[in-house]
Chains A and B, each alone.
Chain A
């Protein structure tokens, strides 16, 4: 019996091993390595002194940490509801029975496949004062104001949120689209016979049926928005005056420009726990949605 099991184990090893090794080294090991790093002074070159929890103590009184964590949270607050509503609206448009269906889906999704560098520089060139496309259009239609999109705190946030919506909403739209197509046609037919109006159909059939996928989209969006980095770095560089700098950018700067990987690893743990809690909620939510 035991011998037979060994034989089975032996056969399974070549199938499991490649994934197992890569997974342990590059996914699991960094968690423990990060813990070690957070307890040391650690430069880009090498490990220095053991400092215990000093990095953690520093983190709790570091105003830049709290500010960038707040900026990231603000980004989550600004993007999540707009993203979910816009994605739903676009999915409804893209689900219409029209010859333009493919055109709608393609256009809404196309920006998602462009590189973050491309979308960021498109945004910069469109938003530049004096020569940017947006301001020249404003001038052409008679608005003389010269908005400095990147220099004003509020306008910088507006720019980042709009660009992010444009860039990523197509992905969420596709998830809603799949949800819309899973709604049984018979529900609409039955309500038709009962004389329901279009609005009643939307309110009492479409929306409730979309709730499970809506929850998935919502949580994936929060999770994704907490990881924001590239488009902010490339569009505003975190400015003006650090007003849009997200946590990952600060972690990067501490680690790689201030040469303090130990402290960077410590702050990564804060992000780690936020994201971990969100993923657990997300997985639970998904499982309850499936059963």
Chain B
């Protein structure tokens, strides 16, 4: 046992030193390396420049405008706009709505997709293949093209202009079922069989054994669903009528147009809407990138 462990460590060590050698090789061999890195730096700065500009404009005194680009990035600075907007607008309410809707959508999606995926992967019942194919069909149905009848259906449930109307239509993700099903299929047969031999109920098997093993897939789906809900525009734009229930993407344009030509106030609102997600992104960058490549390819 300890022998094979040692061997494993050796293999790992060798692999990492090989990788380092390859890295050094690449460094020495590519005459264009410096040029490429410089291009990378320039493009990266170009990509984040508008965001940095937004943050600088948001702390300028109200009414500030200039024809000299340098002045956007030099003092005077003030936090007065932040205080003003947080106190005198609905933006915190919209931030809260976006957050609550994205969170509940994510949790409900995880619950119902993992339950269904578990049944299809591990349980025996009639018409199983038929039901799986029926769920697969959902991948081909574009939500944007069925949004008008969806509006009628949600209206008939009296859920237009409500949290339920924002959340419930978004939770049945066929992609989630498919990803989780293929993940559950990979759980070793012996584990499942011995649990069933021990008299474990299906629900216990699901909750205690299969679900903890599926954490990476669940995390990927969670990230995907959360970002999707956070950025969803079309459906909230159609289904929400009262300002109190706006999500950020729907609320911000209203805000921006009321301030029309002025720069600073709307920019502060945009910054308030963005700073939480930028911070979340900086913390979870690796998981987000991993999650997307995971769902993108398998999906």
Q: Which residues of A contact B202 (CB under 8 A)?
A: 11, 15
What is the bound-complex CA distance between A34 and B292, given in angstroms? 32
A175–B293 touching, CB < 8 Å: yes
What is the bound-complex CA distance between A12 and B206, given in angstroms? 12
A84 contacts chain B at the CB level, 8 A cutoff: no
Known contacts A22-B168, A23-B174, A30-B149: does B53 contact A102 (CB below 8 Å)? no
Mark out the residues of chain B between 244 and 287 whose CB falls within 8 Å of any chain A CB in the assembled complex. 248-253, 256, 261, 263, 266-267, 270, 273-274, 277-278, 281-282, 285
Known contacts A113-B281, A192-B25, A268-B148: does B266 contact A121 (CB below 8 Å)? yes
Give the contacting residue for B142; candidates A105, A140, A275; CB below 8 A.
Answer: A275
B234–A198 touching, CB < 8 Å: no
What is the bound-complex CA distance between A178 and B289, given in angstroms? 9
Q: Which residues of A contact B123 (CB under 8 A)?
A: 8, 11-12, 15
A283–B266 touching, CB < 8 Å: no
Q: Which residues of B contact A103 (CB under 8 A)?
A: 44
Residue of A nearest to B152 (CB): A33
B293–A279 touching, CB < 8 Å: no
Mark out the residues of chain A between 92 and 141 whose CB falls within 8 Å of any chain B CB in the assembled complex. 93-94, 96-98, 100, 102-111, 113-118, 120-122, 125-126, 131, 133, 136-137, 139-140
A19–B116 touching, CB < 8 Å: yes
What is the bound-complex CA distance between A14 and B285, given in angstroms? 36
What is the bound-complex CA distance between A112 and B238, given in angstroms? 23
Separation in Å of the A270 CB from the closest CB of chain B?
A: 8
What is the bound-complex CA distance between A90 and B116, given in angstroms? 38
Give the contacting residue for A178; candidates B44, B48, B288, B293; CB below 8 A.
Answer: B293
Q: Which residues of B contact A20 (CB under 8 A)?
A: 116, 131
Question: Quick check: which of B4-12, B63-71, B78-86 contacts chain A, the rest being far away?
Answer: B63-71
Separation in Å of the A233 CB from the closest CB of chain B?
A: 9
Q: Which residues of A contact B293 (CB under 8 A)?
A: 174-175, 177-178
What is the bound-complex CA distance between A27 and B144, given in angstroms? 11
B37–A96 touching, CB < 8 Å: yes
B153–A248 touching, CB < 8 Å: no
What is the bound-complex CA distance between A8 and B72, given in angstroms? 68
Mark out the residues of chain A between 24 and 67 whose CB falls within 8 Å of any chain B CB in the assembled complex. 25-31, 33-34, 36-37
Interface size on B, residues (CB 8 A): 105
Residue of B nearest to A269 (CB): B145
Q: Which residues of B contact A9 (CB under 8 A)?
A: 125-126
Known contacts A33-B153, A90-B43, A261-B148: does B234 contact A110 (CB below 8 Å)? no
* Interface of B: prevailing SS: helix
B218 contacts chain A at the CB level, 8 A cutoff: no
A93–B148 touching, CB < 8 Å: no
Interface mask (B18-52 → A, CB under 8 Å = 1, otherwise 0)? 11001101110110110011011101110110110
Interface mask (B106-150 → A, CB under 8 Å = 1, otherwise 0)? 000001110110111001111000010001011111111111111
Mark out the residues of chain A between 224 and 259 whose CB falls within 8 Å of any chain B CB in the assembled complex. 227, 229-230, 234, 248, 251-252, 255-256
A96–B36 touching, CB < 8 Å: yes
What is the bound-complex CA distance between A97 and B143, given in angstroms? 40
B51–A111 touching, CB < 8 Å: yes
A210 contacts chain B at the CB level, 8 A cutoff: no
Q: Which residues of B contact A77 (CB under 8 A)?
A: none
B153–A30 touching, CB < 8 Å: yes
B77 contacts chain A at the CB level, 8 A cutoff: no
Known contacts A90-B43, A111-B47: does B278 contact A26 (CB below 8 Å)? no
Q: Which residues of A contact B179 (CB under 8 A)?
A: none
B146–A34 touching, CB < 8 Å: yes
Give the contacting residue for B47; candidates A110, A189, A213; CB below 8 A.
Answer: A110
Residue of A nearest to B19 (CB): A185
Query: Which A residues lie at the B interface, using CB under 8 A?
Result: 5, 8-9, 11-12, 14-16, 18-20, 22-23, 25-31, 33-34, 36-37, 90, 93-94, 96-98, 100, 102-111, 113-118, 120-122, 125-126, 131, 133, 136-137, 139-140, 166, 171, 174-175, 177-179, 185, 188-189, 192, 198, 213, 216, 220, 223, 227, 229-230, 234, 248, 251-252, 255-256, 261, 264-265, 268-269, 271-272, 275-276, 279-280, 283
> Would you give 18 A-B contacts (Cβ < 8 Å), ordered by A?
A19-B172, A23-B138, A23-B174, A30-B147, A93-B43, A103-B44, A104-B44, A106-B281, A107-B48, A111-B51, A117-B249, A133-B69, A166-B47, A171-B296, A174-B296, A255-B151, A279-B140, A283-B140
